Amino acid sequence: MVAVPLPEFDHERVTTVTGARSGLRITVALHSSAIGAGLGGCRLWAYEHWLDGVADAMRLSRAMTMKNALADIGAGGGKAVIALPPGLVLDAVQRRDALLDLGDLVESFGGSYITTEDVGVTEHDMVVVRERTEHVVGLPAADGGAGEPAAGTAVGVFASIEQVLLEVFGSSVIDGRTFVMSGLGQVGSRLARRLAEAGAVLTVTDINPAARALADELGATWIEPDAALTTAADVFVPAGLGGILTAAAIEQLPVRAVCGPANNPLAERSGADALAARGILYAPDYVVNAGGVIHLALTESGDSPDTVDARLRGIGGTLAEVLALAKADGVTPLDAADRLALARVAAAHRERRAT
């Protein structure tokens, strides 16, 4: 017997299957479709137990409900996870089989869940998923899709960082400010380039040693991953996997603010209170990293690049609204963001019942 704690079940539907082709456990968690079909990516990742993948999908799908509500894109929240056993590396055939199995599961939701790429999955993988379902976005532009959303995410995080600096230091100017960035993947690398171009003093790290080449290119200081949470800076930018901000890490974190694209950087929700108690401003992850879903939703619906760019930069304004509410109500920014998002979801539920 394996005991795996699952999040509170406030979802519309959570389905886990054993893929008919791949034999892998695949989960789709639909948290809410009150505002619209649940939109959220598929994560391909290794877990100690497949139930850990279910828990991950449930946590992430709830976050997608909140993210999409505040992003105002007419979508609800959902997430998919393809859980790999520890140590398994898929070959090309196995990967294709897993993606086809994912497509079948997505199709079974009848359009109430729309998938796209997330950690471990690319825009090219979405072409395979589309062989089994139409409920997929984020395909390459050459295939008629919106393409890789990482650039959009980076734009939104950059705008959020400017807002954070304004809140903490009274000026949004990035030039000369110090940042520690943990993670230089698709989003992190793009964000690092933007920050460097704006004059930021960067200290960076990644679990992939090859990422050091980007650090050298940008003139950034490279540190080992273990040092990311103990290196002093104005802002800590989590840009890798979640859960990095444990209670112990928060106790020694030598920064004035936390703002980055990583999903669920707080190991526990109480971390938001712990950061506030130390005078560290926490910009809620699902507010600042909403650029990807905004890019996907608006591009797929035919909005112009200028319109999309304006909405991406508007994420800074959304964060300003969240921070103002937090001050007014005497709560953490995470609590304030939740209140705003849940109010929009509740309004959508009321409207649905009225019709």
Q: Provide Rg for the chain, Cα atoms.
A: 19
> Cα separations (Å) of 221 from 47, 189, 198, 205?
32, 14, 16, 9
Q: Which amino acid is at 241?
A: L
Q: Strands 76-84 and 13-18, how do they pair?
A: unpaired
Q: Cβ(17)–Cβ(67) under 8 Å? A: no
- For the chain, counts of helices (H) and of strands (E): 13, 11
Q: Which residues pair with 110 in a beta bridge?
A: none
Angle between helices 150-169 and 315-329 (to 10 degrees): 40
Q: Name which of 179, 149, 186 is nearest 164 in CA terms.
A: 179
The neighbour count for residue 208, using CB atoms within 10 Å, is 12
Structure tokens at 233: 């800076």
User: Mind telling me the catalytic residues?
Assistant: 79
Q: Cβ(258)–Cβ(271) under 8 Å? A: no
Q: Name which of 184, 2, 4, 26 is nearest 90 in CA terms.
A: 26
The neighbour count for residue 241, using CB atoms within 10 Å, is 17
Provide the strand spans (E) within 257-310: 257-258, 281-282
Q: Cβ(45)–Cβ(119) under 8 Å? A: yes
| Dist. CA 95–CA 175, nearest whole Å | 43
Structure tokens at 292: 């990807």
Q: What single DSSP character describes residue 289?
A: T
First-last CA distance in the chain:
46
